[in-house]
């Protein structure tokens, strides 16, 4: 099922925001221990969360289970962690992933380590929703900081890019006994990012019946023989668009959405690289120390003799994010940069 596929007439298609809302509602109905906690999530007449994902949920579940907090990220993260330690299953919301740095101690020193320090006696089952991505919001409201957390044993890191997997993964994350950071791209919630995604339909088929998608499993979004392209979020759609263009030049791209960055589904990537002999990695997180570097290292360790060309990475340049669109587009991986990297990888 790829987003690049043409919609089938009559099938139910949802945006990511709608799919996330449906997943949360289902899980809250399923288990009374699931609750939402965050800033501006349930205030009457408010926003329903910074990106409207919670609209309508307060009416069904009430303020006992949709808890508005002060602007106090350490407290809300700590409250979620503590409640999870006591057997609840909180879904804290931070509005912007940039604000994760306000509660790094809670996430890295507490949430990630409580199971280990207690010798496995405690669990921290929570799902922290983190909107990422550039959208002309500048240096402090547009970062993709997922790689920081890929470095933290004890956390799980998910990046969703389409409605089907967003729903299935969020449901799995809520039922997971470990803390999960759930990164969603702001331009992919609705249809706003459609133009930047090469005009692709950003809705996806979401079945009416309940389903789960497992954490730790990548999906092949486009099969191909010439080169493996691993990409998340907007970079995934730009890679798919680039792949369509390159197909006309005889370059047959296999495009993979890893979906989970920690634990990483290495086997799907290794199998693809062994088939194509070439690897391009694209992400909106910055280049140095980004998760693409980790993936490149693992492929080099396990598949070096399958490679026919050097691995190429396309990432945001190593600068803070500017606001002016012309500069922002220079920093983040564009379709043109991804296309050029694939071409270069296929030259060797």
Using CB under 8 A, list all residues that contact another protein. 35, 37, 64-65, 67, 69-70, 72, 74-88, 90, 103, 105-106, 109-110, 114-123, 153-154, 156, 176-178, 216, 262-264, 266-267, 298, 301
In sequence order, which ranges of 193-265 are alpha helices (DSSP H)? 233-247
Nearest CB to another protein, comparing residues 301 and 347:
301
For another protein, which is the closer residue by CB, 69 or 196? 69
Choosing from 141, 165, 185, 233, the catalytic residue is 141
Minimum distance from CB of 113 to another protein (Å)? 8
The CA distance from 241 to 203, in Å, is 16
CB of 77 to another protein, least distance (A): 7
Cα dihedral sign, 47-60-129-209: negative
CB 146 within 8 A of CB 318: no
Least gap, CB of 338 to another protein (angstroms): 25
Give the C-alpha separation, 129 to 127, whole Å.
6
Distance, in Å, from the CA atom of 290 to the CA atom of 316, rounded to the nearest integer, reads 10
In this structure, the strands spanning 227-231 and 279-286 are parallel
Strand partners, 316: 286
Q: Which is nearer to another protein, 297 or 319 (CB)?
A: 297
Smallest distance from another protein to CB 262, Å:
8
The tokens for 266 are 């290495």
Q: Which is nearer to another protein, 31 or 318 (CB)?
A: 31
Residue 76 or residue 187: which is nearer to another protein going by CB?
76
Output 16 or 127, the one with its CB closest to another protein.
127
145 cis-preceded (ω within 30 degrees of 0): no
141 in catalytic set: yes
Residues in contact with 271: Cβ distance below 8 Å, sequence separation at least 6, in sequence order: none
CA dihedral over 62, 176, 297, 337, signed as positive or negative: negative
CB atoms within 10 A of CB 212: 15
Q: What are phi and psi of 164, to 5 degrees?
A: -60, -50
For the CB of residue 152, give the shortest distance to another protein in the complex, in Å.
Answer: 10
For the bound state, the minimum distance from the C-beta of residue 131 to another protein, rounded and expressed in Å, comes to: 22
List, in sequence order, every beta strand (DSSP E) within the chain: 13-14, 34-38, 66-68, 89-93, 127-132, 156-160, 180-185, 204-205, 219-222, 227-231, 253-257, 260-262, 279-286, 312-316
Residues taking part in catalysis: 141
């Amino acid at each position: 099922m790829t987003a690049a596929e043409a919609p089938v007439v009559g099938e139910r298609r949802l945006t990511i925001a709608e799919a996330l809302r449906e997943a949360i509602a289902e899980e809250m109905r399923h288990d009374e221990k699931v609750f939402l906690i965050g800033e501006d999530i349930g205030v009457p007449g408010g926003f329903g969360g910074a990106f409207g994902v919670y609209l309508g949920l307060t009416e069904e579940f009430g303020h006992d289970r949709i808890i508005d907090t002060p602007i106090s990220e350490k407290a809300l993260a700590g409250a979620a962690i503590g409640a999870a330690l006591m057997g609840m299953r909180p879904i804290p919301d931070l509005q912007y992933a940039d604000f994760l740095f306000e509660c790094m101690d809670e996430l890295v020193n507490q949430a990630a380590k409580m199971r280990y320090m207690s010798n496995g006696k405690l669990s921290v089952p929570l799902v922290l929703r983190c909107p990422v991505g550039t959208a002309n919001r500048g240096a402090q409201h547009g970062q993709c900081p997922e790689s920081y957390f890929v470095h933290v044993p004890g956390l799980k890191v998910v990046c969703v890019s389409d409605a089907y997997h967003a729903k299935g993964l969020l449901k799995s994350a809520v039922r997971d006994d470990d803390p999960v950071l759930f990164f969603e791209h702001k331009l992919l919630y609705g249809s706003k990012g459609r133009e930047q995604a090469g005009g692709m339909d950003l809705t996806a088929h979401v079945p009416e019946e309940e389903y789960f998608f497992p954490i730790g499993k990548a999906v092949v979004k486009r099969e191909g023989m010439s080169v493996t392209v691993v990409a998340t979020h907007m970079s995934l759609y730009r890679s798919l668009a680039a792949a369509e263009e390159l197909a006309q030049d005889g370059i047959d791209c296999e495009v993979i959405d890893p979906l989970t960055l920690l634990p990483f589904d290495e086997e799907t990537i290794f199998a693809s690289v062994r088939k194509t002999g070439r690897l391009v990695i694209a992400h909106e997180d910055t280049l140095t120390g980004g998760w693409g570097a980790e993936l490149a290292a693992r492929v080099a360790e396990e598949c070096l003799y399958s490679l026919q060309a050097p691995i190429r990475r396309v990432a945001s340049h190593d600068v803070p994010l500017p606001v002016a669109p012309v500069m922002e587009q220079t920093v983040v991986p564009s379709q043109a940069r991804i296309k050029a990297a694939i071409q270069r990888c296929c030259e060797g």
